Amino acid sequence: MTAWSGPVCVDPERPASSQPARGGIGGTGSPAVGATKGGGIGGTGSPAVDGGIGGTGAPLAENASVGIVGVITGFASVCVNGLEVHFEHGIPVSENGDPSSADKLAIGHVVSIDATNSPKGLMARNIAILNALEGPVTKLIHGGKAVQILGQTVSIMPNTRGSPQGLAVGQKVKVSALSGANGALIATRIQPSPNLKQASVLGQVVVSGKQSTINGVAVTGTINTGSALIHGHWTGTELVPANIKADPTYRFKESASRILVEGLVQTYDGRGNITAAGLPLLLSNATSTQMKALQLNQRIFFDARLVSGGHLVVDHFELNETLSVENPQPSKQRNPDLGDRSAIKSTVTEIPQTIDKSETLEKAETPERAEKVEKAEKAEKVEKAEKVEKVEKVEKVEKVEKVEKVEKVEKVEKVEKVEKVEKVEKVERH
């Protein structure tokens, strides 16, 4: 039998996965002496006078408001991101805006908790269960690594809880998930819900023309807000809204002294500006090594505070594993409250090959035919090429599709006449 020295986040579904609470007394614990891993947010559970969250040293006043968003990892009271958060009997609990109860909380649920700091630790005032999707299974994907809900692909991980396997098309389910890069959804819990009356989607809104989408799900009409919670009727191709509510995820953002969040890296620019869990952040204390190691869909825990202007400053963060995504759904994400930083994004640019001062040209693959060229002193137009008066060297080839074989060409000082092109079987158009 394992003996724990502090509060334990008990996993009732997998007891062997139970772990010490990283947050002990709710985020005001002092960091363990010599601890290198498992410290951070919340310390070890030892009380610290004027201590801070995550060993950051930032004092947290009694009754200060703290917002927490993340995945339930166990129960002491409730553990989110490994933090122990206490709650009293009868605490208000909702699930995608509908009334629920604390006994519905389960491992793998993504939750948003409005809490305060107390002598006992973090004390929840209310808890919101956040389901990215609620509705029918629309497609089963071979291999069981993903499933489509409301037409949106959801990746299934080895630690996805609930009943991610054995699903059937048409079966109604609720999906808690982390939102990754390019609209990818990674399920943390998939729960069958046969009595579900309406479909719902929760998350950031992407508008294209007169069409809105949330988590890749098409929604009838234009939704003029950065994020939303929508309930409605699923037609088989889109969701027809019956009611539209404010996204409850960061309902405490304007009042919380601290915000403790678990999410996935959605964008980064290599200079410390990232988007994670739908929030624009500046990792001002990140090392160059951490920046180089940063990847899309990497799990991140961060402790941030709100400063003037509504900006979030990250005092402490921890990077964890990068989650692989099955069949991600590409989409342009609109990040709320980005302002001028909305242009920050991660891009992959394909760089064309260049030939510099080449004395060799390569034979084009599958040339199609040759047309006789009588003069090359002035080429008025060659596939949108600019005027060529003298060919002394090849300055730059903008894009080479496929080049297989090099036929050596003797040094060309001046081309006055091209007598014949032996064989050009195909000329690629650009």
How far is the C-alpha of 226 from the C-alpha of 424, rounded, in Å?
Answer: 54
How far is the C-alpha of 421 from the C-alpha of 119, rounded, in Å?
Answer: 88
Strand ranges (E), 283-331: 298-307, 311-322
Q: What pLDDT, on a 0 to 100 scale, did the predictor assign at position 22?
A: 62
Strand partners, 231: 200, 243
Between the CA of residue 286 and those of 182, 270, 345, what are the distances in Å?
24, 10, 18
The alpha carbon dihedral of 306, 307, 311, 316 has a sign of negative
Q: Between the ranges 26-35, 296-305, 410-419, where is the mean pLDDT highest?
A: 296-305
Mean of pLDDT values over 246-259: 92
Mean of pLDDT values over 242-270: 93
Give the number of other Cβ atoms within 10 Å of residue 281's Cβ: 23
How far is the C-alpha of 374 from the C-alpha of 281, rounded, in Å?
Answer: 62
User: Residue 274 pLDDT > 90, yes or no?
Assistant: yes
DSSP 331-347: -PPPPTT-GGGGG----
Closest by CA to 213, choosing from 124, 152, 161, 254, is 152
Q: Which residue has the tokens 């590409």?
A: 330
Q: What pLDDT, on a 0 to 100 scale, did the predictor assign at position 8?
A: 74
Strand partners, 153: 148
The overall pTM is greater than 0.75: no
Would you say 180 and 296 are in contact if contact means Cβ atoms under 8 Å apart?
yes
**Domain boundary assignment for the chain:** 8-130, 352-430
Closest by CA to 41, choosing from 21, 68, 22, is 22
The 3-state DSSP class for residue 343 equals helix
Mean of pLDDT values over 84-113: 95
Confidence band of 311 (pLDDT split at 50, 70, 90)? confident
Confidence band of 64 (pLDDT split at 50, 70, 90)? confident
Between the CA of residue 77 and those of 7, 83, 103, what are the distances in Å?
10, 10, 11
Q: Which residue has the tokens 């950065």?
A: 226
Instruction: Choose between 311 and 340: higher pLDDT.
Output: 311
Q: Quick one: tokens of 310?
A: 């509504």
DSSP category for residue 311: E
Displacement of CA 192 from its chain's centroid (Å): 25
User: Residue 359 pLDDT > 70, yes or no?
Assistant: no
Instruction: Choose between 46 and 212: higher pLDDT.
Output: 212
User: Residue 330 pLDDT > 80, yes or no?
Assistant: no
Taking all residues of the chain, what is their mean pLDDT, rounded to a whole number?
A: 73
With a pLDDT cut of 90, the percent of the chain lying above it is: 44
φ, ψ for residue 268 (rounded to 5)? Answer: -160, 155
What's the farthest any 2 CA atoms get from each other in the chain? 93
Instruction: Choose between 210 and 125: higher pLDDT.
Output: 125
Q: What pLDDT, on a 0 to 100 scale, did the predictor assign at position 59?
A: 61
Q: Are strands 78-80 and 83-85 parallel, antiparallel or unpaired?
A: antiparallel
DSSP category for residue 53: G
Would you say 249 and 112 are in contact if contact means Cβ atoms under 8 Å apart?
yes
Q: What pLDDT, on a 0 to 100 scale, did the predictor assign at position 389?
A: 45
Residues 6+ apart with CB under 8 A from 119: 62
Torsion (CA) 280, 63, 90, 43 in degrees, nearest 10: 70
Mean of pLDDT values over 369-391: 41
How far is the C-alpha of 40 from the C-alpha of 56, rounded, in Å?
Answer: 8
Instruction: Choose between 343 and 425: higher pLDDT.
Output: 425
Between the CA of residue 395 and those of 197, 392, 398, what are the distances in Å?
66, 9, 10
Q: What pLDDT, on a 0 to 100 scale, did the predictor assign at position 142?
A: 82
